Structures are given as C-alpha cells and as structure tokens.
A and B are shown apart, each in its own frame.
Chain A
Amino acid sequence: MSQVTIVPTLSRRTEWGRLFWVCVGFVAAVAITALTVQWIAPHDWSAQSLVDSGQGPSSSHWLGTDALGRDIFSRLLAGTRTGLIGPLVIAIGAGVLGTALGLWTGYAGGRVDGLVMRSIDLVYAVPPLLVAIVLVGLFGGGYWLAVVVLIFLSAPGDVRVVRAAVMAQRELPYVAAARTVGVSPFSIASKHVLPNVTPTVTANVLLQFVVGLIALSGLAFLGLGVEPGSPDWGLMIAENRTVLDLNVWAVAGPAICITLLALAVTVIGDRMFEVLTDRTAAR
C-alpha cells in the first residue's frame, strides 16, 4: 500500500556537497600517486638498512622506518598500487557479472532465476572471506588469484541487490506500457530497466570496492595474496606489528591509509546513490 504524501516535494535538488568533493579529491590523489610513485617517492621503498630499523619519524624518514629499515612513507605511497588496482578489478568484475545476472534473473524470472538464487544460497553457506582464505592458502596464494576468487565471491551480492531492484521496476506501468507498444524484452531490460537501477548498481560497485579493499588487506595481513616484501598496506601491518612500540606509524600509517581510502569511497558511493536516485526519481 502506498503511503500518502502530504508534504509537497521540494523542488530543490540534492547537492553533491563539500564532503563528496573532498573524498573525490582524495581518491584522485591516491590514483595519481599510484601512477607516479616511482618518481615521487622520497626513498626506494624496498631499500633495506638494518642500522636504521625501527626508527620513529625524522626529517629524512617522515614516518620513520620498519623492522628492516625501509622508509614507511615511501612504502605507504607505493602501497597505493595494490590498494587501488585489486579492489577496482574486483568491483568492476563483480559489478559486471552481478549486474548482468541480476538483470537477467530479475527480469526473466522463472527457472533460471530459481537456479541462480539457489546457487547463491550455497555460496553464502560459508562466509566469503573464509572461502578466500582457504582457497588462496591452499592453492599457493598470489595477488591475482585472490582478486579472481573475490570477484566470484562478491558477485552473488550484486546479483541479489540488482535482482531486487529490477523486480521492483518490472511491476511498474512504464514497463507494461513498453511491452504493449511492442518493445522487445531485451530492449526493455537494457533501455528501460537498467537506467532506472543505475543508482543501485553504481552504489553497489563502489561498495564492492570497499569490501574488496578490506578483504584483500585482511588476506595480506594473514600472509595470503601479495608477495612477501611487496609494499602493501595490509602486509605492512603484519610485518611491522613487532615494532609497534618502537614506531607506531609503521602500523598506524597503513591502517589509516586503508581506512581513509575505504571511507572516501563509501562516502562517494552513498552520496552518488542519493543524488542519482533524486535525479532519476519518478516525482
């Protein structure tokens, strides 16, 4: 049953807001860093120096050094690469797979829908991160294996969300109207339904980026995924836990980097969902 709206809708548009642009700026800065890190990093991030190990912040090492004497600040800058590329591939991969399947099962319904949904129930019977730990661990790890596994473990979430959004749209008269005019099911799904679930899809892709980032860093923290020694935020936390009392930045630095990137992308996703929904709203 519909609720009766008694407040006239405000003609004012939902604005992006300053926080959104700050977050976009931050993510852009992270991306630029990832592309240019070999030129802008103050030190070689893999150069070891046992005499300098476990130092606190100083003028030559702004955030100090780790147990092997490597420059934390340079390693944080270099960590933008695995911090960005893996989650991006997961988000896009799972987004494309999940949206396609969600659109198909949600619009077509029937037997395909039942089969896909039952398989998804199956995937959810074991927590995805646990599956990733087992698979990546047993098969000898590797960053890209972790990424591929996480794509397949994340996609079911996208399918569910997109499918629910599509099923809600499918019942609206504009879909029935398109059918009575003679528009083909494929066109209805791609030209009518898809644009209307764009806010959901966009928000979900960005959410998957965050989930991917946290999952990959968790795997790295457990020693799974990225190669030992490579500059990765999750791995840095694991490597530097022993020097926590000597140089807290060796652990806090990467932790803050992961959190800020995840936070920025989450804020962007939430905001995009609100603004896009508002701009596509039926009334």
Chain B
Amino acid sequence: MAAAAGRRWVTIARFAVRRLAAMVAILAIVSFLVFSLLALTPGDPAVLLLGPQKATPEAVARIRAEFGLDDPFLVQYRDWVVAALHGDFGRSIRSGQQVTDMISERVGVTVWLAGYAFVLTVLIAIPFGLVAGMRKGRLADRLATASSLVALSAPTFAVGFLLMYVFAVQLDWFPAFGSGDGFLDTLWHMTLPAVTLAISQIAIVLRQTRAAAMDVADRDYITFARARAVPSRRIWQRYVLHNASLPVLTSAGLVLAYSLTGAVLVENVFALQGLGALLVVSVAQLDLPVVQALTMFTALLVLTTNLVVDLLYFAFDPRLRRAAVAA
C-alpha cells in the first residue's frame, strides 16, 4: 500500500513537472507576442516612450540608445525577458516609477476584490447549482436558472451602478467609493464591488454546476444508492458533489483566473485603485511597460490556476490517479 501511494506521488509530481514545462512554453510565446506589441503599435516607439511633448530629436536619440531600440528586435526581446525574469519590467513612461512597484502598490485591492468575489461565488453557485440540477424543472431550479440568465445578460458595470444606486445612494448601507482601512472597514467597502463581480461569476459557475448535477441525477448509481437506503446527506456529498466535481472545479478555476477582466470594469465603477484601473489608464496613456507587465501577470495567473485545477482533479478522481500510475 505504502509503495503504491509513494509511486502515486511520484507520478503526480511527474505530471506536474510536465504541465509546468508546457506552462513555461506558453508563457514564452505569450511574452513574445506581448513584447511585439511595442513594435506593432503605430508610431515611433521612442516618441511613444517619451510622450509627444518631450520628443525632441536629442531626446529621441537618447531614448533609442537607452532602450536599445536600434538593436535587432530579437536582441531587444532577449534583454526584456532577462530583465523581466529578474522582476524588472522597466519604468512607467508617464510616472517614471518602477513598474513592479506600481503593480505591488495596486495588487492588494484587486486581490481583495477577486478573493471576496470568489468566496461568494463558491458559497452560492455550487450549492444552488447542485440543487437546481438534481431537482430539474422544479421551483428551485426555475428560480436559479432564471436569475442566472439575467445575471449573465446584465453587463457587470450596469449591475455595479444598480447596486451603487440602490445600496449606496438610496439606502446608504454601503459606501459608494474607496477601499477602506483595516479588515472590517475594507470588508465593508469591498462588499458592493465584490457582489458586483460575483454576480456574473455566480451565473457561470451555477450553470456549469447545474449541468454537471443534471448529468449525475439520471445515473444508475444514484438510484442504486437510494435503493440501498444510503442517507441523503451522503448521497449529496459522496455521489452528487463528488461526481460533479470536475466541471465545477474547471468553471470555478476559470472565473478565478479571469477575474482581472471583471475587475477592470468593477474598479472603474467604484473608483477603486486596483490593477484593472491601472491597466485602463496605462492603455489610454500608451504606457507600454505597464501594459506588458500586467498582461504577463494575467497570463501567469491564468496558467497557474489551470495547473492547480489540473492537480486538484487528481485529488478528486480516482480514475485519473490510477491512469497516472499506469502511464
């Protein structure tokens, strides 16, 4: 038994390493595309880097030398990658601040927002999705399905303004702006933004969970378990939830990985100074070093989440564990 368990860990580790290698390859390609943005953006990169006002011929020449813009493209790319691997994405064109410093200043707000929303999503979407799927066509299912349809159809920013209008402007229960200090104050400030972000995510995860539970509901093993008088609590946990876990994990991982997209809109509505707001400003100002760093950051987040989800599959599904041992 112990030997088998040990072998299982080795194979899972081997799988993880393989996936890591694939992840690095994808990151490399993404980084190349991201870097190419600089070359593809219309206009002289030096003028872009300086900003139109300061672009005197001398300044342009200086900046070309400083950024190595006269080097071949691949050399530039190599230099950029090497620096990025050391955590150096250069300085912002507009503020002159280190890009990594700017990101670390802003990242807290976004992590709060995304984390809070994710917790709400998991706590609401999974139980309601399971119940809806198992009781297809009944009241609970129709309510869950209808509200998730509306949530999917309403743009995140519209939901944000609605919540702000009702709960901040009219009822004055929550603040409309600001991110707060200290845990409880932050929790209070972040509630409306997090609920806004969560609403669209809940809709996605709920629909996936419902579909997965519907698939499980018709299975013979559920009927067979009921026929053996297995307690319903155990049927929900060991039969329904466990067998629906793969699609649920996948969709939950997807919304977490993509939460920066939602954050862009939500931060804009509630005037939060997070990474999303930083991205919008940087794009508008053509602040390329910041845009590049944020894009790489997102890709890293997405790929890491996917890797974690893949590894969680192993924890849940014995078929995958055994297949890994056989391979």
A residues lining the B interface (CB < 8 Å): 3-4, 121-122, 124-127, 129-130, 133-134, 137-140, 210, 214, 217-218, 221-224, 234, 237, 241, 244-245, 248, 251-252, 254-255, 258-260, 262-263, 266-267, 270
Q: Is the CB of B149 within 8 A of A267?
A: yes
Contact mask for chain B residues 268-304; partner A; CB cutoff 8 A; 1 contact, 0 none = 1100000000011001101010010001001100110
CB of A270 to closest CB in B, whole Å: 8
Contact mask for chain B residues 20-43; partner A; CB cutoff 8 A; 1 contact, 0 none = 000000110110000001000110
Q: Pick 17 A–B contacts, CB within 8 A, sort by A.
A: A122-B26, A125-B27, A125-B299, A130-B261, A130-B264, A130-B298, A134-B37, A134-B279, A134-B283, A218-B157, A222-B265, A244-B169, A251-B165, A255-B154, A255-B155, A258-B158, A262-B153
Q: Is the CB of B299 within 8 A of A126?
A: yes
Q: Is the CB of A244 within 8 A of B152?
A: no
Q: Is B61 an interface residue (CB 8 A)?
A: no
Asked, given contacts A127-B258, A263-B150, whether A251 binds B264 with beta carbons under 8 Å apart, the answer is no
Q: For A139, what are the chain B residues with a Cβ–Cβ distance below 8 Å?
A: 41-42
> How many residues of chain B are within 8 Å of chain A by beta carbon?
44
Q: For B219, what are the chain A residues with a Cβ–Cβ distance below 8 Å?
A: 3
B residues lining the A interface (CB < 8 Å): 26-27, 29-30, 37, 41-42, 149-150, 152-158, 161-162, 164-165, 169, 218-220, 257-258, 260-261, 264-265, 268-269, 279-280, 283-284, 286, 288, 291, 295, 298-299, 302-303
Q: Is the CB of A259 within 8 A of B298?
A: no
Q: For B29, what are the chain A residues with a Cβ–Cβ distance below 8 Å?
A: 122
Q: Is the CB of B41 within 8 A of A138?
A: yes
Chain A CB within 10 Å, residue with most, of B29, B157, B219, B303: B157
Q: Is the CB of A133 within 8 A of B161?
A: no
Chain A residue with the shortest CB-CB distance to B38: A138
Q: Is the CB of A259 within 8 A of B155?
A: yes
Complex CA–CA separation, A234 to B160 (angstroms):
13
Q: Which of A127, A210, A255 contacts B261 (CB 8 A)?
A: A127
CB of B305 to closest CB in A, whole Å: 11
Complex CA–CA separation, A4 to B156 (angstroms):
43
Q: For B257, what are the chain A residues with a Cβ–Cβ distance below 8 Å?
A: 127
Q: Is the CB of B283 within 8 A of A266?
A: no
Q: Is the CB of B165 within 8 A of A248?
A: yes
CB of A99 to closest CB in B, whole Å: 22
Q: For B158, what are the chain A residues with a Cβ–Cβ distance below 8 Å?
A: 237, 251, 254-255, 258-259
Asked, given contacts A122-B26, A255-B158, whether A263 binds B149 with beta carbons under 8 Å apart, the answer is yes
CB of A212 to closest CB in B, whole Å: 12
Q: Is the CB of A121 within 8 A of B26?
A: yes
Q: For B288, what are the chain A residues with a Cβ–Cβ distance below 8 Å?
A: 138
Q: For B220, what are the chain A residues with a Cβ–Cβ distance below 8 Å?
A: 3-4
Asked, given contacts A124-B302, A125-B26, A127-B302, whether A133 binds B264 with beta carbons under 8 Å apart, the answer is yes
Q: Is the CB of B149 within 8 A of A266?
A: yes
Q: Is the CB of B264 within 8 A of A222?
A: yes
Complex CA–CA separation, A65 to B218 (angstroms):
54
Asked, given contacts A125-B302, A125-B303, A237-B161, whether A210 binds B153 with beta carbons under 8 Å apart, the answer is yes
Q: For A245, what are the chain B residues with a Cβ–Cβ distance below 8 Å?
A: 169
Q: Which of A126, A218, A234, A260 contacts B302 (CB 8 A)?
A: A126
Asked, given contacts A138-B41, A221-B265, whether A126 binds B149 with beta carbons under 8 Å apart, the answer is no
CB of A23 to closest CB in B, whole Å: 11
Complex CA–CA separation, A262 to B153 (angstroms):
5
Q: For A258, what are the chain B residues with a Cβ–Cβ distance below 8 Å?
A: 153-155, 158
Complex CA–CA separation, A140 to B283 (angstroms):
10
Q: Is the CB of A221 within 8 A of B155?
A: yes
- Known pairs A134-B291, A259-B154 / 20 extra A-B pairs, C-beta < 8 Å: A3-B218, A125-B299, A127-B258, A129-B261, A130-B264, A138-B37, A138-B283, A218-B156, A244-B161, A244-B169, A251-B161, A252-B161, A252-B165, A255-B158, A255-B162, A258-B155, A259-B153, A259-B155, A259-B158, A267-B149
